[in-house]
Amino acid sequence: MLKAQYERRGPVPQDVIHAVEFETPQLEAGQALIEVVAAPINPSDVLTLTGEYGQLPPLPAVAGREGVGRVAQLGPGTKEREVGELVLLPVGCGSWSTHVVADAKHLAPLPSEADPLQLAMMTINPPTASLLLSEFVKLGQDDWVIQNAANSAVGLYLAQLAKHRGYKTVSIVRREDAMAVVREAGGDVVLVDGEDLADRVSEATGKAKIRLGVDAVGGTATGRMADCLCRGATLVNYGAMSGEPCAIHPGAFIFRDLTMRGFWLSAWYQQAPEQKRGAVVGEVARLIAEGKLHAPIQATYDVSDIKAAVAAAASGERSGKILIVPRR
């Protein structure tokens, strides 16, 4: 058995993580041993390794916040799950591992007919996209939403969910070779960011009033997005890919009554009622099983290759997600 562990944090994420062998744990009543099928590397995972994320586990720690696996063994008298079931791993369980131990009652069964690699990515990015579309502005049929970092995992999920719900999207990317994947995901208008963005958005949408902006970049990109929004609109930031503070001219707030909000999924999970959490995750699982929601995958790596996997995930030129898929 192998797990990806780190004892320190540092600016180069692949330098602090390494594969460590461990013995088969002795299960207690109510516990399950799960063979990990797949676990993605998300930006939040990379920021956790560098120490820049908003919630850091005590050290040493096993990395990986989400994934799926199959129940391999049950503790004495445990009846909540069955051996062989495909299950969703608990958030923050240390999923970059060949095996994890979890309380059986906290394991959610998943549809066996769905692609497990797609299901492995369902806990963080799809709910983020779903909630960005629903929690801040009440949108109706054919309403427009504008987002940047549109070729990111959240951006592609947002484009697909918006299409499913009847909304139209303006999707902003930072390079031309990223446009095709967004169009394939259902993006209605796809543009490369630039100083004349507001004029190009207005022309492409027929001067539509855009009431919701979704920003993952920060810096001057936030201000360019603000210029595309109508009076009284809401701009939501959930990331800082530029590494810079959001820069918006005060006139956007003073003269156009813009509202700016932040969103962090971890806080939402902690505060939302269990029924609402279940509804969001349940919708995501159903859409993935139906083939209506998916994300491109660039490469898969074994746990033993964790350094190369993290380096690939931290690269800015990826065309899909990096997943840990343990070899058997």
Which contacts (CB < 8 Å, 24+ apart) does range 271-280 have? 280/127, 280/130, 280/131
Strands in 110-160 per DSSP E: 144-147
Asked if omega into 116 is within 30° of 0 (cis), the reply is no
Question: At 56, which amino acid appears?
Answer: L
Asked if 21 and 2 touch (Cβ cutoff 8 Å), the reply is yes
CA distance 323 to 3: 14
**Pairing, β 86-88 against β 168-173:** unpaired
**CB under 8 Å to 29, separation ≥6 — which residues?**
75, 76, 77, 78
**Residue 301 is a catalytic residue:** no
Residue tagged active-site, from 53, 157, 167, 301: 53
Catalytic residues: 53
